[in-house]
Amino acid sequence: MKIVEFNLQHKNLKLEEAEKQLQFSNDQLNRVNVQLQEQNAILKVAKDRAEESDRLKSAFLANMSHEIRTPMNAIMGFAEILADADVLLEEQKEYGQTIYSRAQHLLQIINDIVDISKIEANLLSIHKSTFDINTLLNDIRKLFVSVLKGKDKTQVEIEVQNPDGKQPLLIHTDKHRLEQVLSNLIDNAIKFTDSGCISFGYDLQANGTMEFFVADTGSGIPPSETEKIFDRFVMAQNAVNDKHEGTGLGLAISKSLTKLLGGGIWIESSTDKGTVFRFRIQIDNLKEDQKVIDEITESNHDVLFNKNILIVEDDKWSANYMETILLDKKVNTYVCNTGEQGIAFLQSGEPCDLVLLDIKLPGISGLETVAKMKSLKPQIPIIAQTAYALNEDRDKTLAAGCDDYMAKPINSNKLIELIVKYLDRR
């Protein structure tokens, strides 16, 4: 009996041990099952996000095609009509203005795509200067008064609000990028405001920052949309059926720019009650020797009369465009198609007061051409033009010896002002 009893106890112990091991295995399986469920949930979220991203990108590409082809349709169409000899002078002016307007819209699309690409690649840099913020805001207002007129929205008022009125206020930040953010936000406000008012301005903060705002009386944005309004490609999801033009990149670019300027951006909005965009940027404390305003002065165009300007440009249409601008100002122009020809022209002893130089040239590059030209005539002003538009490209041209730089497409008024600036110094 004792042996049987002992054997039963031994078997019971083994059964208990086996039960414990089975329970341990079950616990492990349960933990693995929970982990698998968690992983599945994470993978589902990632899959949904990837599908949403693909959907938005596909919609974005469809919208880009629409946004690019629409102005191109008008540009090419009216250019073809202008080639007809029977077009009346008044019609020529009207068609020319349409081509220019649509080309400006197309350029803005290209600029948005380039900027978002630079942001993705961490190539967007900040270049600070000292300037009067009130002058900048007033200049922006004048620009958008014309924009409203061009969009047949003259019933919409646009006004500047600032605490300093007409008094100059110097700040130190990136003027171009600040103007870009304000312009993006005002342009966005115009799209969604059919009547009422758009106002923009700033409030000074005590901690070395400035807070800007752009407010409108437009249709507003639903609360559910405000969290993702700054995401790239979001506008594109319904843009093909949307009456509003745009790439959907302006707000995403503005968010990145305000971050680079040492601040951030946010929105206050509700449906049918308008929208207020606010953003804050860091402004450097000014030292006494930094207090220089970018003043706009009346240019002396008389300085252009009978001056000799060398154009080094391998693209005949670009060269012809600059020649046409300058001949209208009674300037003597000479065109060379390569850097070697431009250098030879200076070596010939022909009179030359200024050089307009394309950076991308066949044969020796524009940068090499600059160095050789400056060795021949150190004092001659050289203004570079290039289709490359990154900040590092500008820095390379200035480091090579160019006195100034303009990105293509060239604005005729800005080109003349830049030329006058350097001829006035001689």
pLDDT (tens digit, 9 = 90+) per residue, 34-55?
Answer: 888 888 888 787 777 776 666 6
Q: Which residues touch 109 (CB under 8 Å, ≥6 apart)?
A: 64, 67, 68, 71, 247
Tally of CB atoms within 10 A around 414:
10
R_g of the chain, CA atoms, integer Å: 31
Higher pLDDT, 199 or 426: 199
Q: Looking at 66-75, 166-175, 387-396, which range is the least confident one?
A: 387-396
φ and ψ at residue 234, rounded to 5 degrees: -65, -45
pLDDT (tens digit, 9 = 90+) per residue, 286-315?
Answer: 543 344 444 444 457 788 899 999 999 998
Burial class (CB in 10 A: 0-12, 13-18, 19+), 2: exposed
Segment 174-181 shows an average pLDDT of 92
Segment 45-66 shows an average pLDDT of 67
pLDDT (tens digit, 9 = 90+) per residue, 367-378?
Answer: 999 999 999 999
pTM confidence score: 0.64
Residue 122: what pLDDT?
81
Provide the pairing of β-strand 209-216 with 196-204. Answer: antiparallel
Residue 287: what pLDDT?
42
Secondary structure of residue 377 in the 3-state scheme: coil
Q: Which residues touch 195 (CB under 8 Å, ≥6 apart)?
A: 155, 156, 217
Higher pLDDT, 229 or 176: 176
Q: Which domains does the chain have, with CATH numbers?
A: 2-120 (1.10.287.130), 129-290 (3.30.565.10), 301-423 (3.40.50.2300)
pLDDT (tens digit, 9 = 90+) per residue, 247-263?
Answer: 568 888 899 999 999 99
Phi-psi domain of 408 (left: phi exceeds 0; alpha: psi -120 through 50; beta: other): beta
Residue 297: what pLDDT?
44
Residues 7, 12, 15: CA angle, nearest 5 degrees: 125
Q: Looking at 178-187, 204-213, 248-257, 285-294, which range is the least confident one?
A: 285-294
Tally of CB atoms within 10 A around 97:
12
pLDDT (tens digit, 9 = 90+) per residue, 234-251?
Answer: 553 444 344 555 556 888
Cα separation, 271 vs 276, in Å, equals 12
Contact, 309 vs 354, CB < 8 A?
yes
Which residue, among 370, 322, 316, 323, has the nearest Cα to 342 in the 3D structure? 370
Residue 261: what pLDDT?
93
Work out the mean pLDDT of the chain and round it to a whole number.
81
